Every structure is written in structure tokens, then in C-alpha cells.
Structure 1
Amino acid sequence: MSGNNDNTCAEIYVSGRVQGVYFRGFTQKVASGLGLVGYAQNLPDGRVKVIAQGEKALISELLDNLRIGPELSNVEDVGIKWIYPSDEFTEFFIKR
């Protein structure tokens, strides 16, 4: 993100049938393809947490994909909170 002022970060929580259905891998594939950095992580309560950092328009595109999800998923809700970007991410990964 060389000097891009549009760099922002979103904390996203996806609920529904989103664990055990390739949701994190799907998220990683889409986010990486968009050039976003961050991670996807299963939560103990059954949701998936996604931290996505990059251009706001690209995060919006990721959100559109997350609302659909991979084939076997059933997304019920996508919550988003805009947070301050950090320098800790260099790629998009699956967090265990």
C-alpha cells in the first residue's frame, strides 16, 4: 500500500453456518485476490472473525463476497466495525 491514503481496516464478524464449510479458505482466497491483508479466524461461538485491511472499495467488495460465502455456507449476518489500520499484516492468512 505505497502511500495510499485510502488504506483502512475492518473488523468483520460473520455468523450462520460458517465453520467447517471452507469459509476461512474462501475468505483468504478472495481477500488475497483483492490485495487485502489480515486474517480469518474461527471463534468458539461459531462465528468467523475477519480482519481485512486495504482500500475501502476493496474491503466493500470482500464484504459482498462474505455475504454470499462459499457453496456449503449459510451466512446469516455480517457485522462490520471500522478500526484503525495497523502495520502488522503483510498478507492475508488463516489464523488458528
Structure 2
Amino acid sequence: MQNMYDGAIPEEELTITTSAVRRQVLDDVIDLCRVNIELQASEEECVLEDEKLCEIRDRFSSLYGKSTEDLSLTMDIAEDIEILWKE
């Protein structure tokens, strides 16, 4: 395993890996939001009552099946994820 502390991992590799992790986080949030919409019909504990939470969830779930290559994990998106996560 490469050790990034001694500079064994090139900066470009770290940038690529960081970007891939951020994209995966975004993909996972999109999937979770889509599943929440499906589950709320049958699982009472999955129902979101807060209108703002529903709006954020719906916005993320609308991206399901679309390419996230052009999306960035911006501060606004991260804040929306934090709001959902706290719920």
C-alpha cells in the first residue's frame, strides 16, 4: 500500500481519488433519496414530514439514472446532504 505521508502518492492520483469519492458520495445520496420515496409508501418511519427535507430529497432523487460526471459536490450540495443526514 502506498503511503501518502512520505509523498509516495502523486498529487494527481490524490486529486483523481478525491474526485471519485465525492462522486460516489453524491451517487449514494441520490440512491438513498430514491429508495426513501419508494419506502415511504409502506414504511411509516421512512416518511419525511418536513417540507424542506422532502424538497431536498426530491431534488436528489430526480437525478437518479442521470450521469453525475458533470456534477460537483459543492458546498450547497454538501449542506443539503448534512440537512438530510441530521434527520
TM-score bin (small chain): under 0.3
Could you state the TM-score of these two structures normalised by the residue count of structure 1?
0.26
Higher relative contact order (Cα pairs below 8 Å, separated by 6+ residues): 1
Q: If each structure's strand is expressed as a fraction of its own residues, which one has the higher value?
A: 1
